[in-house]
Chain A
Amino acid sequence: MTEAVRSAVDSGLPRQVGMLARRSVLRTMRQPAMVVPSLVFPLLLLSINSSGLESTTQLPGFPTDNYLDFALAIAFVQGALFSANSAGTNVANDIESGFLNRLSLTPLRRMALMMGQLAGILALGVIQAVTFLLVGVAFGAGIEAGLPGAIVIVLMSLTISAAFGCIGAFVALRSGTGEAVQGIFPLLFAALFLSSMALPRDLIEINWFQTVATYNPVSYMLEGIRSLVITGWDGEALALGFACAVGLALIALVAASSALRTRMVRT
């Protein structure tokens, strides 16, 4: 154990979190293969969607006449899905390389480990959210709720990133392999596809799809961000959006912590 790590474990939780957070952030930022696709693919899909589906704004009841305003929210959630992949892959690497085994021999607190791992995801989340906002505004999206609304969008985006990041960490801790993390990516994508991603829920005419989208928390995350872009300040949409994001984050965090405890015991 290096002197710095010994000093960290000897001190309190904040210092332990700080050490691991620094490692997590540096590790994420040093992997362009992790950062670049998480920015490029959502922007590419945003660009294709907003040109390809612009004509749907002519449907009666569509909430805006600019599909880019409607589609911008998708980029934030899609970026958060990459966070799940990124967090899970990092945790799986720590397991496969034996780093977690070595940490388990130290008096490091489990909470510090979880929070430290999440720091890298949140750093990536800030880069994603700011990039998506700037690109969206540059290409003509209007943020109806103004600058304070943009800040709330970043906060909600970070909460969603943390939620999906915890899901990725949970899967990695349960399975111990990077392949399993890659395997859940399509399922998380399905959650995005089976939501109000492409059209508002009340304009979806297939009943079963509308029902699935209504029970899908991703719909409310999208609608929370979308409300700030299109409507302005809509308390109900924001409350539902934050409730779903925070709720999912808490459930995933508890599950990941439990999986971490089990893995530490096994170790």
Chain B
Amino acid sequence: MSRGGFWSVAGAVAWRNAHNFFSNPAMIVPAMLFPLFFFTAFAGGLSRVDSVPGFDYDAGYTTFVYGFVLLQAATFGGIFTGFSVARDFESGFSRRLMLAAPRRGGIVAGYWLAALMRAIFTIALITAVALVAGLAIDGNAVDLVGLYTLAVIVNAAAMLFGTGIAMRLRTMQAGPAMQTPAFLFLFLAPVWVPYDLLTGWVQGAASVNPVTLVLESGRGFLAGDPTEVLPAFAVALVLAAVTVLWARGGLRSAERVA
């Protein structure tokens, strides 16, 4: 089978999902609102946190929160695409798609492209709002490339994780199984204060949470002071590699019942 078959399937799936996303208010509005709520609530409501003794992030609290919300938008852009996969299975569309697709790997690639478009749209919106709200980016162009590359890898890993679950369970009721682990990994990182200011069990959880490295590296890029770059990229790439295998297993599982 030609590579053209793969990319034509990927392109068709991506276009359909992007069209559904941008033309359906029930999908696009929550995708925009949730990260914006988080950004406004924490950058606005907790702005005084940068006066806490030991808060050592020079770029300011708005930038500190932006680092987290960017990662959140990338992650949930991927997870919500998993919801779309589950919806396509419930409606019977995926079964027909699998019968018609010459290269089924192209289906997953198409969902990945849709997740990427979704994340780019949400991140662009949040960045625009954050810039108006006083986001200070001290990093240079190379730092920003590093930051957004990390976000793209995380987006792909989240999408592959969600797709793997959706293709195994093939129901919208699998939503919490996709969302809850992502929520826990994100919120058990240094979300509101730097790692050193965390206390109790959350600090213990953050110390072993791989998302901590990614988040701290992202904030380092924003502040123009790259930190933990290699470990962060290593963690993100390992997550992506593991979730590729997870999604491939999901695709095999879906193929058996198609």
Q: Chain A interface (Cβ within 8 Å of chain B)?
A: 47-48, 50-56, 58-59, 179, 183, 186, 189-190, 193-194, 196-199, 203-206, 208-209, 213
CA distance A53 to B30 in the complex (A): 27
In-complex Cβ contact of A54 among B33, B40, B45, B200 (8 A): B200
Task: Point out the residues of chain B lying under 8 angstroms from A47, CB to CB.
Answer: 201-202
Most buried by B among A55, A197, A204, A213: A55
Q: Are B193 and A209 in contact (CB under 8 A)?
A: no
Evaluate whether A51 and B33 lie within 8 angstroms (CB atoms) in the complex, with A58-B53, A204-B44, A206-B44 already known: no
Spot the interface stretch: B160-168, B184-192, B242-250. Answer: B184-192
In-complex Cβ contact of B197 among A55, A189, A206 (8 A): A55
By Cβ-Cβ distance, the 6 closest A-B pairs, closest first, are A209-B44, A193-B41, A51-B202, A51-B200, A55-B197, A54-B199
Q: Are A208 and B44 in contact (CB under 8 A)?
A: yes
Q: Please report whether the interface of chain B is mostly helix, strand, loop or mixed according to DSSP.
A: helix
CA distance A51 to B26 in the complex (A): 35
Task: Point out the residues of chain A lying under 8 angstroms from B200, CB to CB.
Answer: 50-51, 54
Q: Are A59 and B48 in contact (CB under 8 A)?
A: yes
CA distance A196 to B200 in the complex (A): 24
CA distance A53 to B46 in the complex (A): 10
Evaluate whether A55 and B33 lie within 8 angstroms (CB atoms) in the complex, with A204-B48, A205-B48, A206-B44 already known: no
CA distance A205 to B55 in the complex (A): 16
Q: Count contacts between A and B, CB distance < 8 Å.
A: 91
CA distance A205 to B62 in the complex (A): 12
**Would you give 6 A-B contacts (Cβ < 8 Å), ordered by A?**
A52-B202, A55-B198, A59-B51, A186-B34, A193-B40, A194-B44
Q: Please report whether the interface of chain A is mostly helix, strand, loop or mixed according to DSSP.
A: helix
B47-90: CB near A (< 8 Å → 1, else 0) gives: 11101111100000000000000000000000000000000000
In-complex Cβ contact of A199 among B34, B45, B54 (8 A): B45
Q: Are B41 and A194 in contact (CB under 8 A)?
A: yes
Q: Chain B interface (Cβ within 8 Å of chain A)?
A: 26, 30, 33-34, 37-38, 40-49, 51-55, 187-188, 190-193, 197-203
CA distance A50 to B198 in the complex (A): 10
Q: Are B197 and A209 in contact (CB under 8 A)?
A: no
CA distance A199 to B193 in the complex (A): 14
Evaluate whether A209 and B54 lie within 8 angstroms (CB atoms) in the complex, with A54-B200, A193-B37 already known: no
Q: Are A52 and B198 in contact (CB under 8 A)?
A: yes
Evaluate whether A51 and B198 lie within 8 angstroms (CB atoms) in the complex, with A179-B26, A209-B40 already known: yes
Q: Which residue in chain B gives the minimum CB-CB distance to A179?
A: B26
Evaluate whether A52 and B45 lie within 8 angstroms (CB atoms) in the complex, with A58-B52, A58-B53, A59-B52 already known: no
Evaluate whether A204 and B51 lie within 8 angstroms (CB atoms) in the complex, with A52-B191, A52-B193, A193-B40 already known: no
CA distance A69 to B190 in the complex (A): 21
In-complex Cβ contact of B33 among A56, A58, A190, A194 (8 A): A190
Q: Which residue in chain A gives the minimum CB-CB distance to B53?
A: A58
Q: Are A205 and B198 in contact (CB under 8 A)?
A: no
Q: Are B30 and A186 in contact (CB under 8 A)?
A: yes
CA distance A198 to B47 in the complex (A): 10
Task: Point out the residues of chain B lying under 8 angstroms from A193, CB to CB.
Answer: 37-38, 40-41, 45
Question: Closest approach, in angstroms, between the C-beta of A57 and any C-beta of chain B?
Answer: 9
Q: Are B40 and A194 in contact (CB under 8 A)?
A: yes
Task: Point out the residues of chain B lying under 8 angstroms from A59, CB to CB.
Answer: 48-49, 51-52
In-complex Cβ contact of B192 among A53, A196, A205 (8 A): A53
Task: Point out the residues of chain A lying under 8 angstroms from B46, CB to CB.
Answer: 53, 56, 198-199
Question: Closest approach, in angstroms, between the C-beta of B173 and any C-beta of chain A?
Answer: 9
Q: Which residue in chain B gives the minimum CB-CB distance to A194?
A: B41
Q: Are A204 and B45 in contact (CB under 8 A)?
A: yes
CA distance A179 to B106 in the complex (A): 32
CA distance A30 to B66 in the complex (A): 41
CA distance A208 to B199 in the complex (A): 30
Question: Closest approach, in angstroms, between the C-beta of B7 and any C-beta of chain A?
Answer: 35
Task: Point out the residues of chain B lying under 8 angstroms from A189, CB to CB.
Answer: 37
Task: Point out the residues of chain B lying under 8 angstroms from A206, CB to CB.
Answer: 43-45, 47
In-complex Cβ contact of A51 among B41, B52, B199 (8 A): B199
A sample of 16 more A-B contacts (CB under 8 A), given A47-B202, A51-B199, A52-B198, is: A50-B200, A51-B202, A54-B199, A54-B200, A55-B54, A56-B193, A59-B48, A186-B33, A186-B34, A194-B41, A198-B41, A198-B46, A199-B48, A206-B43, A208-B44, A209-B40
CA distance A209 to B41 in the complex (A): 8
Question: Closest approach, in angstroms, between the C-beta of A251 and any C-beta of chain B?
Answer: 24
CA distance A189 to B38 in the complex (A): 10
Q: Are B199 and A56 in contact (CB under 8 A)?
A: no
